[in-house]
Amino acid sequence: MRTPQEMIAYALEIDQALLPFAPALLADLEELGSDAERIVTILKSLNLPTSARVIDLGCGKGAVSIKIAQELGLQVLGIDLFAPFIDHCRAQAASAGVADRCHFRCADVLSAHEVEVGEVAAGEVAIMGALGDVLGPPDQSVGVVRKYVRPSGYMLISDGYLKDNSTAMIAGFENYKQRAETLSCLTAHGDVLIEEFVETPASADEEDEESDLILSRAQSLAQQHPHFAKALLDFAQEQRNENVFLNNNFVSAIWLLRRALT
Ligand SMILES: C[S@@+](CC[C@H](N)C(=O)[O-])C[C@H]1O[C@@H](n2cnc3c(N)ncnc32)[C@H](O)[C@@H]1O
């Protein structure tokens, strides 16, 4: 069982000692893995009433939550364990003019549904965007997500699977499987897979741009904090390596599921 700090660090693929630097290292990125525009497009096709409530599990810096509130007018609750990100989410929601319908809460999604019974009531949609396997393999993750959504409500999971011919491996991806096995895990609780949206891989230029932004932040932090210089620069390099691994060995997808009645 990981501690909260370990979970945040694992999900952000960062050494725990570097967590205080995470907001600065990731200052140039709002989306931390999910494609907010794609998620909004999928939700839009569901024609939900504006009273519908969406719960964004592990909302990070709030890019997905805020876009949903802005473009679809839905009620959104974003939950994340990392307090600096929750502060950022609230400030961003206020400046986007959606603070009335987009709320954030600093909590562990493994227990937030039960800690204060009723406060996090089930919604019509629960999203798990780019959390990797921090909550466990896909069947366990869906087991957590489905606690936040009403029976026959929707679950949107943004993650991926290994390509059939993939042989390479890097840290953090050891538990990933190929497509068929991943899909059977996703539906292990009897929920229905409505649609799979395979994501177009980012271009090499887009990836380089993101890696360069992180490297530039790591370099300036390394100058201010020489003791952490190596760890900061290693983090930037690992992010670059991961992008290359993902492009060659991984298929990113968003799955739309409908929760079974039980
Ligand atoms: C890679 S980020 C993805 C953020 C966001 N969904 C996005 O795609 O932009 C993963 C987030 O999960 C959060 N996280 C990890 N474990 C968590 C948990 N048990 N409860 C709540 N948040 C968690 C981390 O703090 C981090 O912000």
Cα 177 off chain centre by: 19
Query: Which pair of structure tokens corresponds to residue 217?
Result: 């932040």
Residue closest to 146 by CA, chosen among 27, 261, 24, 30: 261
For a pLDDT cut of 90, what percent of the chain falls above it? 85
Confirm or reject: Cβ of 31 under 6 Å from ligand 1.
yes
Cα 112 off chain centre by: 17
Q: Which domains does the chain have, with CATH numbers?
A: 4-12+33-202+251-258 (3.40.50.150)
DSSP H helices, 51-178, are 63-72, 83-95, 112-115, 138-145
Each residue's pLDDT tens digit, 24-56: 999 999 999 999 999 999 999 999 999 999 999
How far, in Å, from the CA of 149 to the mean position of ligand 1? 18
User: Is 143 a residue whose pLDDT tops 80?
Assistant: yes
Q: Determine the Cα–Cα distance for residues 156 and 166; give it in Å rounded to an integer.
A: 25
Confirm or reject: Cβ of 58 under 6 Å from ligand 1.
yes
Each residue's pLDDT tens digit, 212-256: 999 999 999 999 999 999 999 999 999 999 998 998 899 999 999
Q: With bands split at pLDDT 50, 70 and 90, how would you rate the model's confidence at 168?
A: confident
E strands, the chain, in order: 53-57, 75-80, 102-106, 123-129, 149-162, 192-198, 250-258
Q: With bands split at pLDDT 50, 70 and 90, how would you rate the model's confidence at 206?
A: confident
pTM of the model: 0.96
CB 187 within 8 A of CB 212: no
User: Is 200 a residue whose pLDDT tops 90?
Assistant: no
Average pLDDT of the chain, as a whole number: 94
| Residue whose pair of structure tokens reads 């890696």 in the numeric block | 211
User: Is 118 a residue whose pLDDT tops 60?
Assistant: no
Segment 195-203 shows an average pLDDT of 90
Q: Determine the Cα–Cα distance for residues 24 and 217; give it in Å rounded to an integer.
A: 7
Nearest residue by C-alpha to atom 27 in ligand 1: 60
Each residue's pLDDT tens digit, 1-24: 899 999 999 999 999 999 999 999
